[in-house]
Amino acid sequence: MKLSILFGGASFEHEISIVSAITLKEKLQTFDLTFIFCDTDHTFYKIERASMKATTFSRGEYKKMPLLRLEKGAFVQKSMFSSLEHRATVLNLIHGADGEDGTIAALLDFYHISYVGPRVAASVFSYDKRYTKWLCTAKNIKCVDYEILSADIQEDIKLDYPIIVKPARLGSSIGVSIVKDASEFDYALDTAYEYDKCVVVEPFIKGVKEYNVAGYMSEGKVHFSIVEEPQKEEFLDFEKKYMDFSRSESVLRADISKELEQKLTNTFAKIYTNMFEGALIRCDFFVVNNEVLLNEINPIPGSMANYLFEDFPHVIKELSQSLPKKNSIQVDYEYIHSISSAKGK
């Protein structure tokens, strides 16, 4: 199966995207893969499979590789006397800005290129943590309590300490702080505001049970991964998450009751349906007093959460064959012709 993996982007998570793409090179060895790197200046490069290693990017070697441009239905490699089309389903693997905020989704839609990944609306509601909270309200899904603060408006918080402070539009724990008392709050805010003018403040729930579920839709049915109970420290910082994004070995199924597993998958399906079709997403949940709370939605999870699936290549193949169809608009200019006829022109 042909598949183009699109990665990189102008994002604080640029390097994480590279790590994810290198991991998928190994996980999808049976696929006919094309690797398309988006530099931070939004130039596209075709990267040979053999060159898919970290030093290709850290040393700038990719700049010597073929340039690509977008045309209807394909990425195109042009030379002086010929052009070569790379016409395949694109797997959007750009984490953070560009990839998860709807920019790439809109670009691929505009050029009529088939792709695996969240569509524009899904990107908007999952990339911005404020909008995710509002989506929960609209879908009657319980989530962690929160307050929203802005760099432009000075406000006191009502939540009790300890709290967790997050930039509203960023992932991978970048700019995130745990605040144990008021003396640490201003510093945490300054750190978060370096990345975003809006921040989300939530209670820090010590010792909370956390579970991750990934899934996708095929032939009208949501398919779930195993439920994972991540084994981690009090706070998973950027460096630990960076390593986490290169995971490729399968993880163990969480030792939970069938009842709790059903609650988690039912909530996942409620989040996914009529919003994330065409994407493989991962949802991270908290369980407090046997109540399932959405922590966050990962619309493009690190390395596509391959480690949660028994047969990841089959998952990508099945998803690629069940992508939403975008309607083509046919314009016949009948209205303009009728006006011209009426005016005798």
| Phi then psi dihedrals of residue 21, to 5 deg | -65, -40
Whether the ω angle into residue 162 lies within 30 degrees of 0, i.e. cis, is yes
pLDDT of 295 reads 94
Residue 168 within any structural domain of the chain: yes
Query: Are 215 and 130 contained in the same domain?
Result: yes
Q: How far apart are CA 177 and CA 149, in angstroms?
A: 15
C-alpha distance from residue 230 to each of 91, 233, 284 (Å): 26, 10, 10
Residue 246 within any structural domain of the chain: yes
Query: Are 300 and 199 contained in the same domain?
Result: no
Segments forming the whole domain that contains residue 186: 147-203
Residue 255 within any structural domain of the chain: yes
Average pLDDT for the chain: 91
Query: Are 89 and 223 contained in the same domain?
Result: no
Query: Are 13 and 75 contained in the same domain?
Result: yes
Answer for the pair 45, 68: CB distance below 8 angstroms, yes or no: yes
Phi-psi category of residue 191: left, alpha or beta, with phi > 0 → left and psi -120 to 50 → alpha: alpha
pLDDT of 248 reads 57
pLDDT of 182 reads 92
CB within 8 Å of 343: residues ≥ 6 apart: none
Angle of helix 129-139 versus helix 258-272 axis, rounded to 10: 110
Q: What are the residue ranges in the chain where pLDDT is below 70?
A: 172, 232-249, 344-345
Query: Are 39 and 164 contained in the same domain?
Result: no
Q: Look up the CATH number of the domain holding residue 215.
A: 3.30.470.20
Query: Are 75 and 129 contained in the same domain?
Result: no
Query: Are 66 and 79 contained in the same domain?
Result: yes
pLDDT in tens, 47-66: 999 999 999 999 999 999 99
SS3 for 215?
strand
Query: Are 214 and 187 contained in the same domain?
Result: no
Residue 343 within any structural domain of the chain: no
Of 6, 71, 70, nearest to 39 by C-alpha is 6
Residue 328 within any structural domain of the chain: no
Query: Are 199 and 211 contained in the same domain?
Result: no
Query: Are 178 and 313 contained in the same domain?
Result: no
Query: Are 245 and 179 contained in the same domain?
Result: no
How many domains would you assign to the chain?
3
Query: Are 298 and 196 contained in the same domain?
Result: no
pLDDT of 325 reads 86
pLDDT of 246 reads 55
Q: Is 88 exposed, middle or buried (0-12, 13-18, 19+ CB in 10 A)?
A: buried
pLDDT of 218 reads 96
Answer for the pair 238, 195: CB distance below 8 angstroms, yes or no: no
pLDDT of 244 reads 55
Q: How far apart are CA 254 and CA 189, in angstroms?
A: 35
pLDDT of 81 reads 82
pLDDT of 314 reads 97
The predicted model scores a pTM of 0.90
Residue 104 within any structural domain of the chain: yes
The identity of residue 191, as a single letter, is T
Q: Can you list the alpha helix ranges (DSSP code H) found in the chain?
A: 14-27, 54-58, 103-110, 120-127, 129-139, 185-193, 238-244, 258-272, 312-320, 334-342
pLDDT in tens, 176-185: 999 999 999 9
Residue 344 within any structural domain of the chain: no
pLDDT of 79 reads 83
